């Protein structure tokens, strides 16, 4: 297909596609003449991936370039797949300077007490410390005990993540990096929907408890 | 305290604090003279909250203004707490136009099959549809069965969320809105750490399975 067709197929403007080509986010098409090139399904896939990482994952184009580099780099050692993937993800999330203050020490102490085996230099320890501190400042009452409860459920999510990683190393890095970045928004949306479901359940139970009739099918989604 | 002290206390520049005051993100201090005002702990808390929502939650200042409006609005009905909170959150997350296409229908069908009671007009159905579609485009193999497994774990997270909402309606809206926005980054960081823990456990098990000695304490965090 021509560039205009690639644009129609992906919903991305020709100007943006040309920008992707210049920046190396999109591989060149097969040259047909001095001014025309032919694009195929690999181009459609790549454009969709760049859009997903940018719009759903919220990554900058510079970060997307780094992510693409890692996931297309051949010959990654199977054992280091997660390491490479996490390094890329850490680079993608690093926006504020890290510190080794009390909040980081609290996270390390909590991880040890919780019994997770984590590299002490893991960059996500900083992320967790910063996020936890923000919850403290908002007085959300997020203590070690509640963190334990969250962590147990998140461990279940990570087990699903890890069990679905393909055996092929190259496919695995791609899967871990993209799966981590692109499944985050899925989990965020699921959490809001689950909050609604859980809180409706509680309201229903409360109404039944006081003898009030309640129609449980009331808010059900019908397709 | 004076504005300069508020700046030292919060780590936010005087210029930014003045901007917050002008934009109504920060309530005025008690006037001491024509040019000086006195600030207290409520100002420290508010500045930290704005920073958290902006830096950790990634919200724009315009969205933060809307969030602050809702959480400081008095007299919210207890039963509508979650509704008000979710409406605010939905407004905060709405960045791309929604559509009623095949991806939204798939989410509705999945929710019904999964057995969650959700308002069919819930804006997060769109979010989930978009996020799921992005995973499809990246060929992550995220099918209904894996979505069910994620959803079960996320439901556990939502149960923790809902069980920790305070009884007072005003405090409840604040808690739900801030808890949802600020705990997201906590869960994201936990997921990456849990992936590492789970995958180390699998590597350890594999090593034990082939008779290789492995020191389980190797990567343990020490505080």
SS3 for A159-171 is HHHHHCCCCCHHH
Sign, CA torsion A163/A169/A173/A175: negative
Whether residue B83 is found in the same domain as residue B139: yes
Across the strands, what pairs with B38?
A: B30
- How near does any CA of chain A get to the CA of B147, in Å? 9
| H/E run at residue B188 | helix B169-209
pLDDT exceeds cutoff 90 at A134: no
Which of A22, A41, A56 is the C-terminal boundary of a domain?
A56
Pick the residue from chain B with its C-alpha nearest to A46.
B138
In this structure, how many other beta carbons lie within 10 angstroms of the beta carbon of residue B209? 8
Chain A residues whose CB is inside 8 A of the B190 CB are: 128, 150-151, 154
Domain assignment present for A7: yes
Domain assignment present for A214: no
What tens digit of pLDDT does each residue of B80-90 get?
A: 566 666 666 66
pLDDT band at residue A221 using 50, 70 and 90 as cut-offs: very low
What CATH number should be reported for the domain holding residue A24?
1.10.1660.10
pLDDT value of position A57: 67
- Look at chain B and report how many structural domains it folds into: 2
Whether residue A146 is found in the same domain as residue A44: no
Indicate whether this complex's ipTM tops 0.85.
no
CB contact under 8 A, A154 and B191: yes
CB contact under 8 A, B146 and A127: no
Whether residue B23 is found in the same domain as residue B114: no
pLDDT exceeds cutoff 70 at A215: no
Whether residue A82 is found in the same domain as residue A146: yes
Q: Specify whether the CB–CB gap between B138 and A171 falls below 8 A.
A: no
CA–centroid distance for A206 within its chain? 36
- How near does any CA of chain A get to the CA of B83, in Å? 8
Chain B residues whose CB is inside 8 A of the A158 CB are: 191, 194-195, 197-198
Nearest-angstrom CA–CA distance, A195 and B18 = 37
Higher pLDDT, residue B184 or B66: B184
Chain A residues whose CB is inside 8 A of the B132 CB are: 186
Token pair for residue B44? 């420290």
> What is the pLDDT averaged over residues A109-128?
89
Domain assignment present for B148: yes
SS3 for B164? coil
- How near does any CA of chain B get to the CA of A31, in Å? 26
CB contact under 8 A, A137 and B111: no
Domain assignment present for B212: no
Whether residue B151 is found in the same domain as residue B48: no
Pick the residue from chain B with its C-alpha nearest to A96.
B55
CB nearest B160 (choices: A146, A176, A196): A146
> What is the pLDDT averaged over residues A118-137?
86
Higher pLDDT, residue B199 or A85: B199
Least confident range of A81-85, A198-202, B38-42, B120-124: A81-85
pLDDT value of position A187: 93
Domain assignment present for A212: no
Domain assignment present for A220: no
What tens digit of pLDDT does each residue of A20-52 get?
A: 999 889 999 999 888 889 999 989 988 988 887
Given the structure tokens 């996320």, which residue do they identify?
B154
Domain assignment present for B220: no
Q: Specify whether the CB–CB gap between B157 and B183 falls below 8 A.
A: no
CB nearest A135 (choices: B130, B183, B192): B183
Whether residue B187 is found in the same domain as residue B84: yes
Whether residue A51 is found in the same domain as residue A66: no
Token pair for residue A48? 């969709």
pLDDT exceeds cutoff 80 at B41: yes
pLDDT band at residue A90 using 50, 70 and 90 as cut-offs: low
- The range of the structural domain enclosing residue A62 comes to 57-206
- How near does any CA of chain B get to the CA of A171, in Å? 10
pLDDT exceeds cutoff 80 at A211: no
Higher pLDDT, residue B58 or B144: B144
What tens digit of pLDDT does each residue of A140-194 get?
A: 889 999 999 999 999 999 999 888 887 776 677 778 878 888 898 899 999 989 9
Helix runs in A94-168, H state only: 102-114, 123-137, 144-163
CB nearest A197 (choices: B116, B185, B221): B116
Chain A residues whose CB is inside 8 A of the B49 CB are: 137-138
Whether residue B10 is found in the same domain as residue B87: no
CB nearest B197 (choices: A48, A116, A140): A116
**CA-based nearest residue to A180, from B106, B159, B195:** B195
pLDDT value of position A171: 73
Domain assignment present for A142: yes
Whether residue A111 is found in the same domain as residue A31: no
Whether residue B48 is found in the same domain as residue B97: no
CB contact under 8 A, B142 and A183: yes
- DSSP type of residue B54: I
pLDDT band at residue B74 using 50, 70 and 90 as cut-offs: low
Whether residue A61 is found in the same domain as residue A51: no
CB nearest B127 (choices: A118, A179, A189): A189
Chain B residues whose CB is inside 8 A of the A127 CB are: 185, 188-189, 192
**CA-based nearest residue to B162, from A128, A156, A207, A193:** A193
pLDDT exceeds cutoff 90 at A91: no
Chain A residues whose CB is inside 8 A of the B58 CB are: 58
Whether residue A94 is found in the same domain as residue A140: yes
């Amino acid at each position: 297909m021509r560039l205009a067709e690639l644009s129609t197929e992906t919903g991305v403007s020709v100007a943006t596609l040309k920008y992707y080509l210049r920046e190396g986010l999109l591989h060149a098409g097969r040259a047909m003449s001095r001014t025309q090139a032919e694009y195929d399904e690999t181009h459609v896939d790549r454009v969709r991936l760049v859009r997903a990482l940018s719009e759903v994952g919220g990554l900058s184009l510079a970060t997307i370039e780094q992510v693409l580099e890692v996931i297309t780099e051949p010959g990654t050692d199977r054992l280091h797949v997660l390491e490479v993937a996490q390094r890329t993800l850490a680079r993608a999330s690093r926006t504020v300077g890290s510190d080794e203050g009390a909040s980081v020490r609290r996270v390390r102490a909590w991880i040890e007490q919780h019994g997770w085996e984590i590299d002490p230099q893991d960059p996500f320890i900083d992320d967790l410390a910063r996020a936890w501190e923000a919850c403290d400042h908002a007085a959300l009452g997020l203590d070690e005990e509640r963190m334990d409860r969250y962590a147990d459920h998140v461990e279940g999510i990570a087990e699903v993540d890890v069990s679905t990683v393909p055996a092929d190393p190259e496919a695995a890095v791609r899967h871990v990096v993209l799966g981590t970045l692109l499944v985050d928004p899925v989990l965020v949306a699921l959490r809001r929907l689950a909050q609604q479901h859980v809180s409706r359940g509680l309201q229903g139970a409360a109404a039944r408890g006081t003898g009030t009739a309640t129609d449980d099918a009331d808010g059900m989604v019908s397709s």
